[in-house]
Amino acid sequence: MTRLVLISDLHFGRDDPDLLVPLTRAIREAEPDLVLMAGDFTQRARASQFSKARRFMDGLGLPWIGVPGNHDIPLYNLFLRAFDPYRSYRRWISPDLEPRVELRDAVVLGLDTTDPLAHQRGRISGSAIRRIGDEIGQASGRLPIVLAHHPFHHASQVEKQLMLGAPRALEQWGERGPHVILSGHLHRWLFEPFVRREGESMTLQLHCGTGLSHRLRGEANDFAILDCAGKEVVASRMVAVEGRFIFEMAVRYHASDIGWRKLSPDDPQPSASPS
The whole-number pLDDT of residue 43 equals 96
**Quick one: which of 92, 98, 87 has its CA closest to 12?**
92
pLDDT per position as a tens digit, 57-80: 999 999 999 999 999 999 888 888
pLDDT per position as a tens digit, 95-140: 999 999 999 999 999 999 999 988 889 999 999 999 999 999 998 8
The whole-number pLDDT of residue 200 equals 63
Convert 183-194 to b/e letters by CB count within 10 Å (16 or more is b).
bbbbbbbebbbb
pLDDT tier, 268 (very low <50, low <70, confident <90, very high otherwise)? low
The whole-number pLDDT of residue 77 equals 86
- % of residues, the chain, pLDDT over 70: 92
The whole-number pLDDT of residue 275 equals 47
- Tell me, rounded to whole angstroms, the distance of Cα 165 from its chain centroid: 18
Residues in Cβ contact with 26 at an 8 Å cutoff, skipping those fewer than 6 apart: 223, 238, 244, 245
pLDDT tier, 272 (very low <50, low <70, confident <90, very high otherwise)? very low
The whole-number pLDDT of residue 230 equals 86
Give the global pTM.
0.93
Rounded CA-CA distance 98/66 in Å is 8
pLDDT tier, 161 (very low <50, low <70, confident <90, very high otherwise)? confident
The whole-number pLDDT of residue 159 equals 66
The whole-number pLDDT of residue 81 equals 84
**Domains by residue range for the chain, with CATH:** 2-262 (3.60.21.10)
3-state secondary structure of 79: helix
pLDDT per position as a tens digit, 169-226: 999 999 999 999 999 999 999 999 986 655 568 999 999 999 999 888 789 999 999 9
Report how far apart, in Å, the C-alpha atoms of 38 and of each of 29, 199, 260 are: 20, 25, 23
